[in-house]
Amino acid sequence: MARSVIFLWFVFFIIGSIAIDVSHDGRAITIDGKRRIIFSGSIHYPRSTPEMWPHLIQKGKDGGLDAIETYVFWNAHEPVRRQYDFTGNLDIIKFLKTIQEQGLYTVLRIGPYVCAEWNYGGLPVWLHNMPGCEIRTANDVFMNEMKNFTSLIIDMVKQEKLFASQGGNIILAQIENEYGNVMSVYGDAGKAYIDWCAKMAGSFNTGVPWIMCQQSDAPEPMINTCNGWYCDSFTPNNPNSPKMWTENWTGWFKNWGGTDPHRTAEDVAFAVARFFQTGGTFQNYYMYHGGTNFGRTAGGPYITTSYDYDAPLDEYGNLAQPKWGHLKQLHEVLKSMETTLTHGNISNIDLGNSVTATVYATSESSSCFLGNANTTTDASIGFQGSQHTVPAWSVSILPDCKNEAYNTAKVNTQTSVMVKKANKEEQKPLNWVWRTENIDHLLLGKGHVFANQLIDQKRATSDMSDYLWYMTSVDLKEDDPLWSDNMTLRINGTGHILHTYINGEYLGSKWATYGVFNYHFENEVKLKPGKNIISLLSVTVGLQNYGAKYDVIKSGIPGPVELIGRKGDERVVKDLSSHKWSYRVGLHGLENKFFSLDSPSASNWESNDLPVNRMMTWYKTTFEAPLGTDPIAVDLLGMGKGIAWVNGQSLGRYWPSSKAEEDGCSNDPCDYRGPYDSNKCVTNCGQPTQRWYHVPRSFIQDGENTLILFEEFGGNPSLVNFKSIVVGTICGNALEKKSLELSCQGHPISAIKFASFGNPEGTCGSFQKGTCEGINDALSILEKACVGKESCTIDVSEETFGSTSCAADDPRRLAVEAICKI
């Protein structure tokens, strides 16, 4: 017994440490000498929870991914210089091991600049505040810190033997990120910096190739890679580098005031298929699971708390169908062609009107693509003895060059319509208690720090809080040239949000919007003779994460702050910018952890006279969590803007009073044809930008739970409620000869609402019978096969549904709408 245990341990030890050789040639990444097609998907560990990781990664694996890609988030791990946090959802080693346990590879994009709509692009603000530091250029202070953090991560990973060269699963690593987009602004120092990055990365001896994305001059042996919505026309800068796509944007992110972006499954599949048609061999979905910007991690400014990204897995971790399934089928087909795609001779045949055939031929077999990039016209192509219809903006894949195994525009996967389900216990309204955010001493102008200038908010707060008070006083005599009955306070701010108070009275607020860097606050003020106190609360909503020298873009109030007096036509302007200003970082309630259940001041809440629409107010309630395992969201409709916590854990910023722009949505179904951009196929116009906030199951306990809200703008909590997110309806619309899988993702199918085999019309929710139909009763066939089951698979064929009178050239389809039991 003992001996066999030792023996097993020995075998495990040997297997566990067998080095995997990762290299590349001009065609592909090679793993142990074999050229590979690699599908990868981005999942950022801090945007979910350790409890969610195994499920997300499993769903990626089921969807046909070979690898998970993540950035490393420096400012999360080192919030204060040399003080590290690798706990909870920042436990990167645990995340990497979870990927390894599922048998997938990892692509580790260390950056450490990451962009990613992440606060300040992932760089710590203390770095910006270090004397003499210049970020992302040949600057010793910066490079020393970057090297220090990068070495730390590499050491941690090596310690756990996670690089493929050590027997682990990390096959590629990335240094810097999209620097090529901004490098010219940095001049020669930029070039020196990127060369230094390459040299430093090489010096780590990780034994795996390094990549640089969007870096057309990536120095050897770095592989330069492409990011974008399409990368078919990308060519690496070295014939020995394979064609790799590190960011295929599966959708887009959302900003406060913006609409919900959607990128169709057909268009994502088209982009991927074209990439492989044109010689690509490594492809990563950005994002595969977008997730949630918990706490203060959202970048921007003005990136929302939800980072759903319209990715194949939605924010809550559910399969976003049909995207997930349509891509899974694409991966299967391309994988079946791995040998021809990575070894075959490539020949292209231009068929005109933007139609191209591509043949990958080895001596044993060949595989073909028929790509139609024409945005409006379907193509009818006679190719190698058979006839093919290739819809506009689609690619047909013919693994044997004869039979179409997949077309990017023909979706044979179910569509899932998600619903929010109320739970029984929660029908009764929540009981709220409240307390005031105490700002009295700030309205009196009493801060902690003084300066005779306006300080950049990043510098004053080191980004430890969204909130910074700027306070000053103005002594006015009635004979002051400024004095008049009609005075104005004018402030040039970058915000992102400003609340102003004069002599203890609220005066007004102002904020900019996404993509706009400045606002001008201008309000009439009533001043009094003698001392007047001006208190300004400046609030950041995620620091800039992108652009050349994005790091020095000012936050807070750069000034000028001016008082303007008017006497008749005469204007007197008094600039207060270099007055004596006093500062205070943060809020009283945040400092005293009102959101924490074990804070010493946790008991001082009031239950009477619940205020509504009152600024600077804390609210607290208890709730029973919805039972079961379905994901949970809290509806914050009615609230203004603030921060939400469940059982002391931050859900992130909320801002339901921010409405998405009115224009840009259309009632017409989204046309997948033509180049995508983030303004295409948007929804949610005129609605709250984000009304629902993810409450991870792991934040919840059995029995009573606590929700605490800090309301900055003023809101009404009476509508707040919790729901679980489940699949409500599923629709299928599959072509003959395909098999259609229907699944309610963890719940049984309770009824079939519609089923027809033939030429049914309409879309999910409005299917109608067409002019021809199979003679067997499709509805009862589906009922028999599916009702009561969690999933079922239907063979879409005449054998199943009987003969039809459909015209021979009219492709027959099965349309189904089924209801899930929720």
Ligand X SMILES: *[C@@H]1O[C@H](CO)[C@@H](O)[C@H](O)[C@H]1NC(C)=O
- Contact residues: ligand X, CB under 6 A: 82, 115-117, 148, 151-152, 178, 181, 227, 247, 249, 253, 286, 345, 353-354, 361-363, 374, 376-377, 486, 492, 494, 518, 546, 554, 558, 560, 566
| Strand arrangement of the beta sheet that strand 355-361 belongs to | 345-352, 355-361, 366-372, 394-398, 406-407
What value does the CA radius of gyration of the chain take, rounded to a whole number of Å? 29
Rounded CA-CA distance 726/724 in Å is 6
791's CB contacts (< 8 A; 6+ apart) are 741, 742, 743, 744, 749
Rounded CA-CA distance 238/216 in Å is 9
Quick check: bond before 429 cis, omega within 30? no
State both tokens at 279: 């010689």
Residue 594 Cβ, how far from ligand X at the closest point, in Å? 33
Residue 557 Cβ, how far from ligand X at the closest point, in Å? 9
Rounded CA-CA distance 467/320 in Å is 36
Of the pair 148, 718, the CB lying nearest ligand X is at: 148
Residue 621 Cβ, how far from ligand X at the closest point, in Å? 35
Facing residues of 734 across strands?
A: 814
Number of helices followed by number of strands (H, E) in the chain: 15, 41
- C-alpha 717: how far from its chain's center? 28
Rounded CA-CA distance 119/112 in Å is 13
The answer to whether residues 403 and 429 touch, using CB atoms and an 8 Å cutoff, is: no
Of the pair 129, 362, the CB lying nearest ligand X is at: 362
Residue 69 Cβ, how far from ligand X at the closest point, in Å? 12
The answer to whether residues 211 and 246 touch, using CB atoms and an 8 Å cutoff, is: yes
State both tokens at 413: 């996967």
Q: Which residue has the tokens 């064929």?
A: 797
Of the pair 37, 115, the CB lying nearest ligand X is at: 115
Of the pair 203, 486, the CB lying nearest ligand X is at: 486
Of the pair 354, 797, the CB lying nearest ligand X is at: 354
Of the pair 354, 592, the CB lying nearest ligand X is at: 354
Rounded CA-CA distance 645/651 in Å is 6
CA-based nearest residue to 704, from 425, 295, 422: 425
Of the pair 105, 286, the CB lying nearest ligand X is at: 286
The answer to whether residues 434 and 714 touch, using CB atoms and an 8 Å cutoff, is: no
Of the pair 161, 566, the CB lying nearest ligand X is at: 566
Question: Could you give the residue numbers annotated as active site?
Answer: 178, 247
What is residue 478's DSSP assignment? T
State both tokens at 669: 């179904």
The answer to whether residues 460 and 556 touch, using CB atoms and an 8 Å cutoff, is: yes
Residue 662 Cβ, how far from ligand X at the closest point, in Å? 24
The answer to whether residues 472 and 562 touch, using CB atoms and an 8 Å cutoff, is: no
Residue 46, CB half-sphere, CA atoms under 13 Å: how many? 25
Residue 496 Cβ, how far from ligand X at the closest point, in Å? 13
Q: Under DSSP, is residue 390 helix (H, G, I), strand (E, B) or coil?
A: strand
